[in-house]
Structure 1
Amino acid sequence: MLPWSAELAGRVERHVVDSAVLRGNPLGDPHERPLYVQLPPGYDDAPERRYPAVFVLQGYTGHLAMWWNRSPFRQPYPELADATFARGEAQPMIIVYVDAWTSYGGSQFLDSPATGRYQTYLCDEVVPWVDARYRTLADRDHRAVSGKSSGGYGAMVTAMLRPDVFGAFATHAGDAHFDVCHRAAFPAVARKLRDQHDGSYDAFLTAFRSRTLPPSGDDMELLEVYGYAAAYSADEDGTVHLPFDAHGAVVPEVWQRWLDRDPVVMAAQPRYRDALRSMRALWIDAGTRDEYYLDFGAAAFNAAVRSAGVPPELVHFELFPAGHGGIEYRYPLALAWLSHRLSP
């Protein structure tokens, strides 16, 4: 495996989207957002042909430049996807890489009064922007959303909240089953907040924003939990409520707001069950050694999907031997699987 960039059989085009809905967002984050569009080999050879599209979401703290990160003996996803098309393992698709970064590290791809309208940005601005400029099959039956970790979470909830836009999804180790993947971490986070910042998130955020040194692991853990709270439990005035108190115990009324956005819980509700049954394809996977226990989240969500009445032949569920990181080789597998189900 080459330690330098591979030559693509297709190409990636880089754009900037000027978002109306992200203008004036509560954090003052940029409203002009990068957008990458990957075209399959042969896109220019058949000018009448139209293609399914998959919109790819990143994990927490992810930004688009990271798609080109290269580790030893591993390839970045755009190269893996291109090779999958070139070998004929996947039907040609257009891949759209979406940015939803915030000053807290991410948005969970939801609309929130504390961060901004990122789900609206994805569904009502990015999707029409792409459809207007590229030869997509511009309807939900030929459009998927996919991602890993928080991106996988975004794929699940976006498909359930906006089945008018997306008719399929793939989630790789997506955040789900919050009682297992999140709740157990709260005492440790409360302790770090107490011992390092006098129990104050205001003090932490002030210190975090003023540092010149790279953030520590503790910094990132504190920021991530606050970012989740900003997505799941913020009031209309932007006030962010934590799901635990100063002693690390769950605050029931706030925790319920988090659970209301847990894909496993959502899948049991009639509105979202209907959305799931409308999907053309669902890919759910995770590593059996996932450090955040998202293998249990994947299994619980799969069970909820089956209980919702989604036909088994439309669902690919798999647990594989791996942790949370280094699983980008899974993405092309889901890409190929989706491509055969979304192509006309």
Structure 2
Amino acid sequence: MKYLSLILLLFLSSQLHAEIVKVPFTSKALENSLIGTKATRDVHIYLPDDYHTTKTRYPVLYFLGAYSWPIKYSSHIEKMLDNHKKQGNTMEMIVVMLEGNTPLRGSFYVNSTVHGNFSDYVLEEIVPWIDSTYRTKAQAKHRGIAGFSMGGTGALRFAANNPDVFGHVYALSPGMFNEQGMAKSYLTSDAAIKRYQAFKQKLAASTEPQKVMAEEFASFQGREIWENGQDNSYSAYLMAYAGAFAGTSEQPFGTHFSKDAKQKPLWYSGFGELISLYTTPAIINELHSVHIEVGDKDDYIWITEGVLALKQKAQQQNLPLSFNVFSGGHSDKALARLEHHMLPFFAKRL
């Protein structure tokens, strides 16, 4: 790793303009996952115009990609930053872009046997590596985290659980449950549950589990996850969610709450605990700023209702959370909102 860092610094020293540095990073935390998540992952890092011509230290924004977003989305972020510069808006910060893809298309950025230890990957590997490799302002008040959809959920969880690392958080359309949310979600899809149950039974009976998983997950790769119909995409998401939040040592993919009601809290916790976390004054008081945006007609209705439930409870407690409820669905103008809401939010606060 020290050799890699030296090569990077020598390369960067010859660059005199803003750029995205693309670095393959091999993670110990992601090795040996049950489903074969890649341990070597691309990390994309945006460096400001004058990074190589000054000795200035910069605040850092970490951006987490959504479910099934490849790392190439960083090209959109680069264009957003360039647009701001053309308009005379300075964006003097380092932006670190990460993705959470796995063979099930999404890790939710938590530690799990199924996907790998994504929380450790971010907190124990990436953040220290960025601070040791680049000239950063390595304090929570100068470090923010953001994300869209699954990335927004991950950003909220990271900030709430680690306010000494991330002082500011922005989430766009994050997965979130109120008390009724899980019952309205894909987690209750009959077709997805049926496929999930059949997969678990086949996996338990097999002497070649890796082969079973490769065959089962084949229809989840690339565009096929969407092109094979809603039942296919819901099945992938249910399995990914189960592996992230409902797994146990005996049952890494969990036991569905329709089969064992005692498992319901595990399934609910993934999206449900966010309301509890962000209505806990002791947590909010440790953070410098929190902002959440959601469409009033999100394609996943439980997301709109979950965020609105949080907004109501936060306002009742006079907690300093800010919200923006816009007209639209889950992905409506997502890139525009990241450009015109997220980036100015951090440019002002970091």
- TM-score band by shorter chain is 0.7 to 0.9
Write the distance in 1 (CA, Å) between the matches of 2:51 and 2:86: 12
What code does the residue aligned with 2:118 have?
Answer: Y
**2:327 aligned partner:** 321
State the Cα distance separating 1:237 from its structure 2 match: 4.5
- TM-score (structure 1 length as normaliser): 0.82
Write the distance in 2 (CA, Å) between the matches of 1:287 and 1:227: 24
Residues 1-344 of structure 1 aligned to structure 2 (within 5 Å): 10-45=18-53, 47-68=54-75, 76-186=76-186, 189-194=189-194, 197=195, 199-202=197-200, 207-210=215-218, 214-215=224-225, 216-217=228-229, 218-237=231-250, 239-245=252-258, 251-261=260-270, 262=272, 263-268=274-279, 273-293=281-301, 294-306=303-315, 310-311=319-320, 315-326=321-332, 327-332=334-339, 333-342=341-350
Does structure 2 conserve the Cα–Cα contact (< 8 Å) formed by 1:286 and 1:319?
yes
What code does the residue aligned with 2:184 have?
Answer: A
Structure 1 pair 153/304, CA: closer, same or farther in 2 (3 Å)? farther
State the Cα distance separating 1:302 from its structure 2 match: 3.0
For structure 1, list consecutive stretches of 5 or more residues without a partner in the other structure.
1-8, 69-75
Q: Secondary structure at the match of 2:24?
A: strand
State the Cα distance separating 1:33 from its structure 2 match: 1.1
Write the distance in 2 (CA, Å) between the matches of 1:208 and 1:190: 18
Write the distance in 2 (CA, Å) between the matches of 1:300 and 1:198: 30
Does structure 1 conserve the Cα–Cα contact (< 8 Å) formed by 2:68 and 2:101?
yes
Write the distance in 2 (CA, Å) between the matches of 1:192 and 1:101: 20
Write the distance in 2 (CA, Å) between the matches of 1:334 and 1:163: 19
Write the distance in 2 (CA, Å) between the matches of 1:113 and 1:191: 25
Does structure 2 conserve the Cα–Cα contact (< 8 Å) formed by 1:56 and 1:98?
yes
What code does the residue aligned with 2:84 have?
Answer: T
Q: Deviations over 1:282-341 (max 9, x none)?
A: 111011121112222222233444566643xxx331111121114111112122112211
Q: Deviations over 1:34-89 (max 9, x none)?
A: 100012233233x2211111110111112202444xxxxxxx23211332244343
Q: Secondary structure at the match of 1:191?
A: helix
Write the distance in 1 (CA, Å) between the matches of 2:345 and 2:187: 40
Q: Secondary structure at the match of 1:144?
A: strand
Does structure 1 conserve the Cα–Cα contact (< 8 Å) formed by 2:62 and 2:145?
yes
Number of positions where the alignment pairs a residue of Structure 1 with one of Structure 2? 315
Q: Deviations over 1:93-136 (max 9, x none)?
A: 11110122111111111111222110110011011111111111
Aligned-residue identity in percent: 22
Structure 1 pair 166/63, CA: closer, same or farther in 2 (3 Å)? same
Write the distance in 2 (CA, Å) between the matches of 1:324 and 1:32: 30
